Amino acid sequence: MSMSNRARRMALHHLRHRADAQLNLIPLIDILSVMVAFLLVYSTEVEVIQNAKGIEIPQSIAETAPKQSVVVMITKTDLFVQGEFIATVDQIRTATASLVEPLRAALKRPMLVGKEVSERDIAQREITILADKALPYEVLKRVMATCTDADYGRISLAVIQKEKPVAAGQLKPG
């Protein structure tokens, strides 16, 4: 039995346009490479400062992310620079000088300074202070004065970011 012209055309059409199911990997690879690049860029934006177990850091609604800098950590009992013990809080409180000399000496060490600093660089040098929220203000004031005297022009106090209060009638994002 012979096929009609229409049936032959339809059969030829189906033979020509028959597509084998194929998985095109190039768009998938493109999407994955864009995702990897995005995640790499935004994963390096957050700077995590190591917190000691003995410090209860105050909370804040500040949104500025911490930057890489020298870290001064003050627990309820001790003072550390980059994890190295410097002095006790009692020594700082009972000292008659307004500056903490062991801290000043530690901040002036070549490994922290790195090179000779100009007057312009002094204003740009950064230091982050991690202090217990129960720390007496006089101790914090002396530590900050010592940091300024040791040529650190930008002093940051580390805090834990908390949620902003939501005004009445506003929806919480998320």
Summarize the confidence of residues 87-109 as an average pLDDT.
88
**Rounded Cα gap, residues 52 and 83, in angstroms:** 10
Token pair in block for residue 32: 């994955």
pLDDT in tens, 111-133: 665 555 555 565 678 888 888 88
**Across 12-19, average pLDDT:** 78
Q: Give pLDDT, residue 70.
A: 86
Task: Pick the closest to residue 146 from 109, 113, 98 (CA basis).
Answer: 98
Whole-angstrom distance, CA of residue 174 vs CA of residue 169: 16
- pLDDT number for residue 31: 92
- The predicted structure's pLDDT at residue 174: 47
Q: Where are the alpha helices (DSSP H) in the chain?
A: 5-16, 25-43, 89-94, 101-107, 110-113, 119-124, 137-149
**Other CB atoms within 10 Å distance of the CB of residue 15:** 8
Q: Identify the H or E element spanning 10.
A: helix 5-16
Q: Which CATH architecture has domain 59-161?
A: 2-Layer Sandwich (3.30)
Instruction: Give per-residue pLDDT as tens, 22-68.
Output: 778 888 899 999 999 888 877 765 555 565 666 666 666 666 665 67
Strands 70-74 and 78-81, sheet pairing: antiparallel
Buried b (16+ CB within 10 A) or exposed e, 122-143: eeebebbbbbbeebeeebbebb
Q: What is the pLDDT of residues 2-12, one digit of tens each?
A: 788 998 888 88
> Mind listing the pLDDT tens digit for each residue in 129-171?
888 888 888 999 999 999 888 888 888 887 766 666 655 555 5
